[in-house]
Amino acid sequence: MTTIDRRSLLRAGLAGGVLSVLPAAPAFAGGGAARPVLTHGVQAGDATADSALVWTRADRPGRMWVEVSRRPDLRGGRRIRGPVLTPDTDLTGKVRLRGLPPGERLFYSVRVESLERPGLLSEPVPGQLTTAPTGRRDVSFVWTGDVVGQGWGIDPAYGGLKIFESMRARRPDFLLHSGDTVYADGPLPAQVTLPDGRIWRNLVTAEKSKVAETLAEFRGQYAYNLLDPAYRAFAAEVPQINQWDDHEVVNNWYPGEILEDARYTEKRVDVLAARAHRAYHEWVPVPGATGPIYRKIPYGPLLDVFVLDMRTCKDVNDGNTYPDPHRGLLGDEQRDWLIRGLRASRATWKVIAADLPLGLVVPDGPTAQEGVAQGDPGAPKGRELEFAQVLREAHRAGVTGIVFLTADVHYTAAHHYDPARAAVQDFTPFWEFVSGPAHAGGFGPNALDGTFGPQAVFVHAPPVANTSPAAGFQHFGEVRIDGRSGELRVDLRDRDGVSLWSTTLTPAPLLSAGRR
């Protein structure tokens, strides 16, 4: 991954009020049958007030180039020399743009230059991204999860991955992808007979015809989703904040697990996870493969997004009733990071992007638990202990404006948590909003655990398990924060973008000097 420093972009005018003309650049030649091709479009990710990642993939080794500007025609912008794309990264590459102007819609274009014939470029592929503001202004984003799961792949006759077109139509500042970005453990059959006799016909690739075990097969999971026109158009226009969950590797996995699944020749989950981790960082516009997956994305004075990783440090799936506060889903380091971050945040709203819901019971077989809760409404046990600590420390520090967003359970719901209904009282009331799947089988609803006093205010779930995308019950959520009032509106929407339910949250008054 190549990074572009602030000084270079300042010279180009992108970090100031006026853009300069493009600097001198190689005389790029055109034409010829040997021109490189960008095979899977472009994507942007982790856009902050002054930086963003830009991603692409080519059909052969070549030098990546990015042009970025305030103008759609790219006049007055900056041409940036990126990395050489090689087979070592599956011909993918990323450039981190730095020194960008805050709170603006920017336009970019990506090309790849032939190594054999310098100056011979691919056709340009355009993209857009929005940087985070530094002052108060309206902010909007969408979230969902769970893409191409339970054997439901791309069928153009049913609109393909249509929900991404519906999300793009909302013109959000970014997408928060709450995990299960792919289903590496979910092979696609050629066709499925629907309950009414119609036939669902999947587009099938070699990598999607079996469970992913090799690095090439994990890479193919991401390549498959980008075959869909709606998905590619969305990725080119809306920057993403991605997290991973279980299906990027295998269902309900945890470190050290040994699979008992006849479909796999490689039974060691740690080996599979290492390959999946590499493919994820190659194909998804997230920061480099070193360092933690969890991170904070600041989005101006109204919003901080805390992106959790509830998988890498996860403990074994058992009954989840142990008394050890050092076990759990986050690990000590991430839990302490989250507590410090919530205490230090001065944003009006602190969105905790959780790839597993807090109060829903998510079993893993008849006796083990996959999620935080285990169905006991009493005092915190097991993984609930670490979240009880997070909520307690935030409450005692006077932190307000916490909102949990998640997917995972394949339906949409709004849960309100209140100590007045809970087995513990040492936390400030908050909301958890669930929305998904984006394109997978519909399930639910799951049982609620009463430990933190949740109330299901709204639920939209299918009547039977693994309801196909053709029947609806695909969902995304939308958050809109008003720049003047600071109010946060949540809409839970269906596949077509229709709002099924909404609520508006009001910012808490100042509790003390400098504290929201």
CATH of the domain at 169: 3.60.21.70
Co-location of 117 and 144 in the same domain: no
More confident residue, 16 or 59: 59
Residue 290 is predicted with a pLDDT of: 79
In a domain, 185, yes or no: yes
Q: In this structure, is residue 511 part of a structural domain?
A: no
- pLDDT band of residue 510 (cuts 50, 70, 90) is low
Interval 449-481: pLDDT, tens? 999 999 999 999 999 999 999 999 999 999 999
Specify whether 315 is located in the same domain as 390: yes
Q: For residue 243, is it within any domain?
A: yes
Nearest to 239 by CA among 43, 103, 57: 43
Give the DSSP H/E element, type plus range, for residue 169: helix 163-169
Whether residues 36 and 91 share a domain: the answer is yes
Q: Which two tokens stand for residue 122?
A: 């691919």
Q: Which domain holds residue 305?
A: 139-505
Residue 308 lies in a domain: yes
CA-derived radius of gyration, the chain: 23
Query: Residues 291, 99: contact at Cβ < 8 Å?
Result: no
| 501 C-beta neighbours (distance < 10 Å), count | 16
Q: How many domains, in total, are found in the chain?
A: 2
Identify the DSSP state of 6: H
- Single out the residue of 461, 250, 253, 464 nearest to residue 360, CA to CA: 461
Residues 118 and 259 in one domain: no
* pLDDT tens-digit series, residues 389-421: 999 999 999 999 999 999 999 999 999 999 999
Q: Which of 166, 276, 160, 281 is nearest to 211 (CA)?
A: 276
365 and 333: one domain? yes
Contact between 342 and 350 under an 8 Å Cβ cutoff? The reply is: yes
pLDDT in tens, 355-368: 999 999 999 999 99
Residues 324 and 355 in one domain: yes
% pLDDT > 90, the chain: 90
Q: Has residue 475 been placed in a domain? A: yes
For residue 274, give the 3-state DSSP assignment: helix
User: Where among 113, 130, 147 does a domain terminate?
Assistant: 130
State whether 49 and 196 are in the same domain.
Answer: no
Same domain? 164 vs 285: yes
Say if 512 falls within a structural domain: no
Task: Show Cβ contacts of residue 23 under 8 Å, excluding neighbours closer than 6 positions.
Answer: 11, 12, 78, 79
Does residue 340 form part of some domain? Answer: yes
Residues 143 and 98 in one domain: no
Task: Kindly state whether residues 102 and 176 are assigned to the same domain.
Answer: no
Q: Quick one: pLDDT at residue 14?
A: 52
Is residue 172 located within the same domain as residue 107? Answer: no
Q: How high is the mean pLDDT of the chain?
A: 93
Beta strands 51-58 and 38-45, pairing class:
antiparallel
> Among 81, 112, 130, which residue terminates a domain?
130
Q: Where are the alpha helices (DSSP H) in 375-486?
A: 384-396
Q: What is the CATH number of the domain that holds 22?
A: 2.60.40.380
User: Cα torsion at 249, 3, 81, 226 (round to 10°)?
Assistant: 20
Confidence grade of residue 115 (pLDDT, cut at 50, 70, 90): very high
Distance CA 90, CA 87 (A): 5
Q: What percent of the chain has pLDDT over 70?
A: 92
Q: Is residue 516 part of a domain?
A: no
Are 30 and 177 found together in one domain?
Answer: no
Distances (CA, A) of 325 to 381, 382, 384: 9, 7, 9
- Residue after which a domain boundary falls, among 130, 161, 194: 130
Q: How confident is the model at residue 18 (pLDDT cuts 50, 70, 90)?
A: very low
